[in-house]
Structure 1
Amino acid sequence: MSKLPTDRQVLRCIYEMYESAYPGNSLGQAQGENDPYLPIEIPDVAKRLDCKPELLFGRLYYYLDAKYRYKQENGALVSLFHLNIQGKRHCVHFPFLASILAGHEEEHKRHSWSLAVSIVALVLSVGAIVAQVITAQ
């Protein structure tokens, strides 16, 4: 069984794969520049993440969309993932995805720095103990 990707890895993969496709095609095309929804190919994303497309779909549709969906003041529902919108299948709200990813990246960086500082403190503590033992003899 392959390792399941984290939310951050899923969002980053989609972002990297489709960043060049946003903000959309030139005028007169099906997707305008102000359209935040971008269709994604779940099998392609799943292949890059080395996971099953069905698991990725479930993660996007049942978990991530439910986790991040919100209502605006005017009652409009903003979803991260849509099954079918404006005739496009399996779409992500790309600016929303980018914002969520930025939050995940910030949190990851904060945890990485905390871990690095903790490791340095541990190494210094072990070094101090070793120096204490050596000088005590």
Structure 2
Amino acid sequence: MKLPTDIQILEKIYKAHKNDFEQYENDNSIRDNKIFVRVDLLKIAQELKVDKDIVFGRLYYHLNHKFNYQNAGNSHVKLFINRGDYGKDEKGHEINFPYMTSILAGMQYERRKYQMATIIAIISLAVSTISVTISVFL
């Protein structure tokens, strides 16, 4: 079993809950506030072919620890909130959707930057190999 990366988890959440986030504009009775969107961890885990607790753990213990911060006014900005009893999933798990999209955009940018550097290195290697081959045989 290959474990999903942070970016894969956040991309799945984005795709699965983008419409939920946008629906608040039309009907603000669907949840308490626009920012926090309930996340269906079971659905995300099934799409990633891992256990629900793996997704929960990555969000709650890893990504929360990495991205939560405290403002100057001592208010806390959280990425992921466990609103109820985790075992019973009574109130559910919620993600700060705008903050998550910002984090996801940064991860995607870093991935593109890494991929571009790798492509350039491969092209450079190919050009060098062709140059050496031409100089040896001509």
Considering only aligned residues, what root-mean-square deviation do their CA atoms show, in Å? 1.6
Whether 1:15 aligns to 2:14 is yes
Alignment match, 1:101: 104
The secondary structure found in structure 2 opposite 1:5 is: coil
1:88 shift after superposition: 3.9
Q: Aligned residue for 2:119? A: 116
Q: In structure 1, what is the Cα distance between the partners aligned to 2:131 and 2:121?
A: 15
Q: TM-score, normalised by structure 2?
A: 0.89
Counterparts of 1:19 and 1:59 in 2: how far apart (Å)?
20
Q: What are the superposed Cα offsets for residues 15-50 of structure 1, whole Å, 9 maximum, x if unpaired? A: 111111113433451426x52000011110001111
Query: How far is the alpha carbon of 1:82 from its aligned partner?
Result: 0.2
Which deviations, in whole Å up to 9, do the C-alpha atoms of 1:82-110 show, x marking residues without a partner? 0007x842000000000000000100010
Which residue number corresponds to residue 29 of structure 1? 29
Calculate percent identity across the aligned residue pairs.
Answer: 29
Unaligned runs of 5+ in 1: none
Separation (CA, whole Å) in 2 of partners of 1:80 and 1:23: 18
Unaligned runs of 5+ in 2: 85-89
Question: What corresponds to 1:5 in structure 2?
Answer: 4
Check 1:28–1:114 CA distance in 2 against 1; reply closer, same or farther (3 A cut).
Answer: closer
Structure 1 residue ranges, 4+ long, deviating more than 4 angstroms after superposition: none
Residue of structure 1 equivalent to 2:87: none
Number of residue equivalences = 132
2-structure distance, mates of 1:129, 1:17: 50
Q: Secondary structure at the match of 1:23?
A: helix
